[in-house]
Structure 1
């Protein structure tokens, strides 16, 4: 009898746990307070630039952030290095070919804990210049606060990628050896996200 009662309570507990909704929150990137920055070697110094238009969503598992999902879409034509002629060249077929590939996207596929508090390794598929390859970013969750129009969350991500992996190969050789541009691109992503209002539960 005692064994049957224990089995019954185990079944009840499993049903309750499996029917409990996941603790999740939905967030949307605030493009006006977010940016994707980058730097690349030019001769012996580093040239910096940014993409000013970035959109995206975060479906955050508040109980277990490693189960969260994130997507980003970046407007390639919003590139800004502070030099209009250089920006024009970067949008051309020599580099991003913005007319043919107007956006780049990132979709997370795996999130793991990293060293430090609220630090994560986020792996995802980056589609750029018509090529999709996996990249891993180091992401710091900066926490959330209640702003004038609702809850706001901050994320900062860093990473390094090789532009040739995405078919962006333009370069010029130097007479002294080497090339004008490096291949590695360092990326810094700053995101401010606004929490979406949750839909009201249907009335019974």
Structure 2
């Protein structure tokens, strides 16, 4: 979006139902219900283990079924905190591993398919905030090799994050695990904090409901070997 006025008008239609529900049931009860509806943060599956042999994962890996990406943001409704998450499984891309490091990665997310538990919020997100007709995808591209430590899951990914047509440098605190030695998939999870204004998005504030200026992008990737 290009002006704060446009954001304010768009979000008005998106949150009017929230205000009605909160008025009937009370903001505290609504906040509890809404936060319970939020998805859990991405975690490594129980079957995944730290990579003991990084050579076993060398090659190119493709984003497969079971992957997802989305956002997490806090809203404040008449003083009550509400956590909202939006998710999509429409994620594509690939990751290359060589010499014990992730050397290349490009992950693309279809922004039009990101959804929460509230259709009107999703309509605002697509049409007003993200303007998906003009900027249909978000993209993360690795810009520096990320070393993989045998027996450890933590890895720091440095790259460029493009949202709403704006590209900003980003550091992603991620975890990598899998069963690559046995031919199974590799899972990568992580999140990156963002400030909406950095991507030309102004967090709306209508008095009775407001969105925090910062949020996070989070993901869980199921990678399949191309070997």
Query: Where on the TM-score scale, by shorter chain, does this alignment land: which range?
Result: 0.7 to 0.9
Count of aligned pairs: 166
2:133 paired residue number: 99
Displacement of 1:151 in angstroms is 3.5
1:64 aligns with one of 88, 91, 100: 100
Compared CA separation, residues 171 and 57, structure 1 to 2 (3 A): same
1:85 paired residue number: 120
Structure 2: distance between partners of 1:194 and 1:78: 23
2:160 aligns with one of 111, 115, 125: 125
Matched, 1:76 2:76: no
Displacement of 1:188 in angstroms is 2.0
Considering fraction of residues, name the structure with more helix: 2
1:47 aligns with one of 76, 84, 92: 84
Extract unaligned runs of 5+ from structure 1. 1-22, 198-204
Say if 2:192 and 2:216, in contact at 8 Å, map to a contact too. yes
Determine which structure has greater relative contact order: mean sequence separation of CA pairs < 8 Å that are 6+ residues apart, divided by chain length: 2
Displacement of 1:159 in angstroms is 1.8
Matched, 1:164 2:201: no
State the TM-score, normalized to the length of structure 1: 0.74
Structure 2: distance between partners of 1:171 and 1:114: 40
Structure 2: distance between partners of 1:174 and 1:84: 22
Give per-residue Cα distances to partners, 1:14-70, cap 9 Å, x unaligned: xxxxxxxxx94111001x310113211111221111122100101111x3215x211
Structure 2: distance between partners of 1:95 and 1:184: 14
Structure 2: distance between partners of 1:184 and 1:24: 36
Say if 2:70 and 2:88, in contact at 8 Å, map to a contact too. yes
